[in-house]
Amino acid sequence: MMSFYKPLFAAGPSEWEGTTVEITGDAESGFQLLKNGKPYVIKGGGGTHYFDVMAANGGNTVRTWGVGKDTRDLLDRAHANGISVTVGLWLGHERHHFNYSDPDQLAGQRAAVEAAVKQFRNHPALLSWGLGNEMEGIQSRGDSPVIWKEVNHLARMIKELDPNHPVMTVVANVNPDKVQAVMDYAPDVDILGVNAYAGAQNIGKNLKAYGWKKPYAVTEYGLPGPWEVAHTSWDAPIEPTSREKAGFYYVATKGILEDTRQCLGAYAFVWGNKQEATASWFGMFLPTGEKTPRVDAVAKAWTGEWPANRAPILKETVMPMANQKVKGGRNFAVLAQYKDADGDTLTYAWEVVEESTDRRTGGDAEAAPEKVAHAVKALDGEGNALLTTPRKPGAYRLFVTVKDGKGSGCMDNWPFYVE
Amino acid sequence: MKKWISLIGCMSMLVVAATVTAQDFGDFSSQTLTGKAWEAYGNGDLELALKYTAKCKEMFLEDAKKQQKEQAALEVKPTGEAIHEFWALNDVGTCLYIEGQVKEKQEKIKEALAAYKILVEELSLSQCWDEKGWFWKPADAANGRIKQLEFDAMLD
């Protein structure tokens, strides 16, 4: 984690003009984020790529989690596409053995944050600082004074180094104790960023009920996580379909942005792709880079318009083995039919993958599970396939990836278990 | 023929008797009606659930609206046990949510939206106790369903 903090050079190039970002108003009259004096609502995503797609679909901001060797390039690419960046400044997690009572560790972290701020404070793509991400602990009440006092120390330091950009700290959802601790021990934080999945659109009401009077942003949102959904009898989380996922993103985006008084905006998660439980749970893009219906849904919520090219979306399925225990070596005729609003010709790619065993918490990197060769064969170009269940007992998922050949695609999966 | 008529008549009476038994409004309290509506909905008896929600609305909708106004006027919103003082608001709000859910299952989307909209626009402060140990707001859930149905309609 400390590798995030190595500065490439002590300060940014002198030709950078920088931006001025400020927050006006109050909780009663409503807050307003101003970038170079102009009102700015964060319509964003968490990620490091596909800025052109974001810009083309009405988005304006990305959020990162830490500073590293690629940050300069990322900021330049964002700026070239007219995208602003909330630059994440990674703070240590106790679950990764960071000790907020160890002066040496704190000194190292402070130096790294200082170097990062000095390096990028004048970059024209910079919107705000994202101080930490869920460092209060995802399984605790998140009210540790020692952590929040350190966050405040860093927030104050950043504001001295860079008075032109607000400081946001990011927590994993909220509860009354956590919000109270931030108010008590970190008063120099300007914005509370909240990562929330199920019920993200109600975060504002919860914060208000807990007494939060500063602005907030929803810093990660999307669909319910694997920890929030029904599981099969062998404890595999049942992933929402691509259609359901698009609905979650649309509802959450619309709902969050309805709070125009206290909410400064939101970042959909993840504007890219990642393996977390499965290859398709959180990624708004396919591993090969095509945008999915989730991007379309967010774009529709941001702008009221669909993208020029729509992604295919699941219409109908016949999956007799889904969520079932079955025998090995059995054949199942399966169907996953997709609809493409533009009438594009779709290609279907099927594969069987072992259930992930590298499951972690807090979004930590997970290894992709093994694929099973020759277990499924497409029968036509319209979503019919023949699945032959693997002979080796265990948990699996049948995946289908559908692409329109024009930059959009979709992926769904159905778990099954071979006895 | 007479035998058949009388047999059909008996069967009708049995059906009526069964229906009457099924529509047991108990003590006619909003709490009982809401509990029975949830139970019927959970059992998949959608028409029965609607009968309870309709009775609850018929008897307590005006009280619920009054309680919505009373609560809206409070500077400090009720918490904990005090939430139960707004019994009509909470139960009728919950019944409207159940009604919306039933109508969705019946694919009567316009009627589902109508129920959700009354809930969101007129009884937004209603709360429902979850046995897991917290209150949730039916209007928030309804708001989400309205957007979801709006999205579904745009996809189809």
Domain annotation covers residue B31: yes
B152 vs A: CB within 8 A: yes
pLDDT-wise least confident of A5-19, A112-126, A182-196, A280-294: A5-19
Question: Is B9 inside any structural domain?
Answer: no
- How many angstroms away from the CA of B16 is the closest CA of chain A? 39
Q: Which residues of B touch A243 (CB under 8 A)?
A: 155
* Structural contact between residues B33 and B58, judged by C-beta atoms closer than 8 angstroms: no
| B80: confidence class by pLDDT, cuts 50, 70, 90 | confident
pLDDT at A6: 37
Residues 6 or more apart whose CB falls under 8 angstroms from that of B33 comprise B25, B26, B52, B53, B55, B56, B59, B91, B95
Domain that includes residue B121, residue range: 26-155
Tell me the chain B residues in contact with residue A251 when contact means C-beta distances shorter than 8 Å: 144, 147-148, 151
Residue-wise DSSP of A145-210: HHHHHHHHHHHHHHHHH-TTS-EEEEEES--HHHHHHHHHH-TT--EEEEE--TTGGGHHHHHHHT
Q: Is the pLDDT of residue A197 over 90?
A: no
pTM here is: 0.86
- B117 located within any domain: yes
Whether B150 maps to a domain, the answer reads: yes
The answer to whether B147 contacts A254, with C-beta atoms less than 8 Å apart, is: yes
The domain total for chain B is 1
Answer yes or no: are the C-beta atoms of B31 and B55 closer than 8 Å.
no
Q: Which two tokens stand for residue B132?
A: 């897991």
Q: Is A338 helix (H, G, I), strand (E, B) or coil?
A: strand
- pLDDT value, residue A11: 53
Flag if B147 and A255 touch (Cβ within 8 Å).
yes
Considering only the beta carbons, identify the residue of B77, B148, B155 that sits closest to A251: B148
Closest CA to A135 of A114, A163, A154: A154
Question: Mean pLDDT in chain A?
Answer: 93
Q: Is the pLDDT of residue B28 over 90?
A: yes
SS3 A270: coil
Could you tell me where the beta strands, DSSP code E, fall in A17-166?
21-26, 30-35, 38-39, 42-46, 61-63, 84-89, 126-131
CA atoms A284, A290, A291, A293: torsion sign: negative
Q: Which residue of A has its CA nearest to B153?
A: A247
| B12 belongs to a structural domain | no
- ipTM of predicted assembly, 2 dp: 0.77
Question: Is residue B49 situated within a structural domain?
Answer: yes
pLDDT in tens, A291-331: 999 999 999 999 999 999 999 999 999 999 999 999 999 99
Q: Give the best residue of A254, A258, A314 to mutate against chain B (max B CB count within 10 A).
A: A254
CA-CA distance, A149 to A184, in Å (whole number)? 9
Domains of chain A: 2-303 (3.20.20.80), 313-418 (2.60.40.1220)
Q: Is residue B21 within 8 Å of B39, Cβ to Cβ?
A: no
CA distance B87 to chain A (A): 21
pLDDT in tens, A74-127: 999 999 999 999 999 999 999 889 999 999 999 999 999 999 999 999 999 999
Closest-CA distance, B151 to chain A, in angstroms, reads 6
Residues above pLDDT 70, as percent of chain B: 86
Q: Look at A250 and B152 and tell me if their CB atoms are within 8 Å.
A: no
For A176, list phi and psi in degrees, rounded to 5.
-60, -40
First and final CA of chain B: distance in angstroms? 52
Q: Which of A43, A24, A42, A93 is nearest to A65 (CA)?
A: A93
- Within 8 A of A250 by CB-CB distance, chain B residues are 147-148, 151
Q: Is the pLDDT of residue B14 over 50?
A: no
Asked if A72 reaches chain B (Cβ–Cβ under 8 Å), the answer is no
Which chain B residue has its CA at the smallest distance from A310's CA? B155
* Phi, psi for B73 (deg, rounded to 5): -80, -10
Q: Residue B141 domain-assigned?
A: yes
Residues in chain B with CB shorter than 8 Å from the CB of A339 are 155
